[in-house]
A and B are shown apart, each in its own frame.
Chain A
């Protein structure tokens, strides 16, 4: 019985991989773009753009802190554009 179950599990996993893998990159990109927009919203006040929701987004700053370096290098800025967030 366990052999059948293992076989079924293997087939299901194989099919899943067959379904997901060709588009993994596309989805990762789409997700990154959404995350970038979110990062921008959270950092907007620090970048000098008034943000009516900053009372709430300021709490999220520590959460996106790790992503800031990756984000600004991808946006073509070698150094962090923020005075108070220096990651490199």
Chain B
């Protein structure tokens, strides 16, 4: 199979989904109305609720949801062959992710921009809301451990990425100063920032830094967590804001480089379509594929971004199609790029099998080495430099996710403290949040070595669980309006069954290996999953049997309670 053909088929599938299926969803299922006054207009406050140009909003939405996850998941999952991962990413994007993200936007925009947590409280019940908080907490708990492991693996595998990884922090701080202190033109600042980042990549390529082999893993993890703790305590305009911005721009450049290289090199996919010769210890394709690739096929995190922020900025309700559905398409394309890099960037099948010698072994490292070969062949950039570019890109995504992850975990710890009547300071909250993440990371193996194969599927499962909750809310709203709820119900049932199945499979693995912390986490997520299924079923039966609720009645009710509290 030629990778260019694979890319063309994949792109055609997701674009077909955008032009056909999202049109159907917009007109028949969600019935988006260009005349509907969105919360951005009715509640315009210049802060959260601001009508925003749909292309700019798409840019935010896409860069908020895209990160390292759509690279890591597919790069791990191609161990079962390229075809299962390809089909799950493309069909998942078209029928699951696009529908889910657009649905979350629509549901939120029809309810004064309320977050999914609030909506689950309303449509699934008070317990639904508590459940939502529990799932978010679990997701945050794992995201920091998972991404720290990803970065650590990359820093060890690609020593040339060390300088650009840490240098990017300085670039971000300087960019922040250029904008806030020196008030420089943003377009010019952007160019300077990106050029500086690529200069650091060149420098890093010339001066690789490798830590002593036996202490590299624990050392990098310690430095990473220390950095994340400090970064999350700094004022956002100093580091996080410019860092997110430069990363957003870099995301588009990296995607351009990768797809441009595939276009010119069009290498053959050396990995088998379906791998019948998987290494010993690899779990079954069903159900693990469907939780290994979460972002890129369907991800609950998107629902949080859609309902929490993007919905409050929709200028017209019909923009939900571009912002929500095409946002998912963008992420699907990133995942597709990862699949191609991790399957086509190797000279022979034997080389590929060497990299994928164990489950969880290939992962993002395979994306970097495979992608580098393709970029080298397609654009003529030396292999080592290409690897540095891709490794830096992946690390920067993972690092910004970690920065935000630690910050959000701290908020959760502080809120939990408030509920118990304790006032927890910023520093103590951060120490607790980072401490838990460090505990999980180091419990996965000596010195935090390896471990991605353990934490990644658990992370994916939690993400799917969150998606199930959003889909359940969307399904209940559709059932109440007596519309076709199947586009939400089919993904909901599929994702829930696969998550529960995967949790049971992993439970056996953890028990056999004696990984008790993971076992406890698994049991908690399993209970939450079954609970979601139970609550969602009750709410849906109630909505199905209940009277029809029209959009007009809903709008009237919303405006009547407009003075009520917001999340």
Residues of chain A touching chain B, judged by Cβ–Cβ distance below 8 Å, are 8, 11-12, 14-19, 21-28, 30
| Given A12-B187, A24-B50, A25-B48, residue A18 in contact with residue B56 (CB < 8 A) | yes
Per DSSP, chain A at the interface is helix
Interface pair B186/A22, CB less than 8 Å apart: no
Pick the most buried of A16, A21, A25, A27: most chain B CB atoms within 10 A of its CB: A21
B48 lies within 8 A of A18 (CB) = no
User: Considering the chains assembled together, what is the distance between the CA atoms of A28 and B312 in angstroms?
Assistant: 15
A12 and B48 in contact (CB under 8 A), knowing A18-B56, A18-B59, A19-B245?
no
A23 touching B313, Cβ below 8 Å: no
Interface of chain B residues 1 through 54 with chain A (CB within 8 A): 47-48, 50, 52-53
A28 nearest in chain B by CB position: B47
* Consensus secondary structure, chain B interface: helix
Selected interface stretch from B236-244, B358-366, B417-425? B236-244
Chain B residues within an 8 Å CB radius of A14: 53, 55-56, 59
Q: Determine whether the beta carbon of A23 is less than 8 Å from that of B187.
A: no
Which of B52, B55, B190 interacts with A15 by CB under 8 Å?
B190
B308 to chain A, nearest CB (A): 10
- Tell yes or no: B482 within 8 A of A by CB: no
In the complex, which residues of chain B have a beta carbon less than 8 angstroms from the beta carbon of A27?
236-237
- Given A22-B60, A28-B47: A17 and B248 within 8 A (CB)? no
Partner of B52, one of A17, A26, A30: A17
- Quick one: which of A15, A24, A25, A30 contacts B186, CB cutoff 8 A? A15
Q: Looking at chain B, what size class is its interface with the partner chain?
A: 20 to 34
Residues from chain B with Cβ under 8 Å of A22 in the complex: 60, 64, 241, 244, 309
When C-beta atoms are compared, the residue in chain A nearest to B245 turns out to be: A19
Chain B residue with Cβ nearest A16: B186
CA distance in complex: A14, B190 (Å): 12
**Residue ID in chain B nearest A19 by CB atoms:** B245
Q: Mark B181-209, 1 if CB is under 8 A from A, else 0.
A: 00001110010000000000000000000
Residue of B48, B59, B235, B244 touching A24 (CB-CB under 8 A) = B48
What 12 additional pairs, Cβ within 8 angstroms, besides A19-B179, A23-B240, A27-B237? A12-B186, A14-B55, A14-B56, A16-B186, A18-B60, A18-B248, A21-B52, A21-B56, A24-B47, A26-B236, A27-B236, A28-B48
Expressed in whole angstroms, the minimum distance between the Cβ of B506 and any Cβ of chain A is 34
A27 to B176, CA, bound (A): 14
Distance of B504 from chain A, by nearest CB (Å): 39
Bound Cα distance from A18 to B48, whole angstroms:
14
Taking CB atoms and an 8 Å cut-off, the chain B residues in 494-542 that contact chain A are none
30 example contacts (A-B, Cβ-Cβ < 8 A) are as follows A8-B187, A11-B187, A12-B186, A12-B187, A14-B55, A14-B59, A15-B187, A17-B52, A17-B53, A17-B56, A18-B245, A18-B248, A19-B186, A19-B241, A21-B50, A21-B56, A21-B60, A21-B313, A22-B60, A22-B241, A22-B244, A23-B236, A23-B237, A24-B47, A24-B50, A25-B47, A25-B309, A26-B236, A27-B236, A30-B235
Which residues of A are found within 8 Å of B236, using beta-carbon distances?
A: 23, 26-27
Give the complex CA separation of A27 and B53 in angstroms.
21
**A12-B185 in contact (CB<8A):** yes
Residue of A nearest to B246 (CB): A19
A29 vs chain B, min Cβ distance (A): 9
Cα–Cα, bound, A27→B244 (Å):
15
B64's nearest neighbour on chain A, judged by CB, is A22
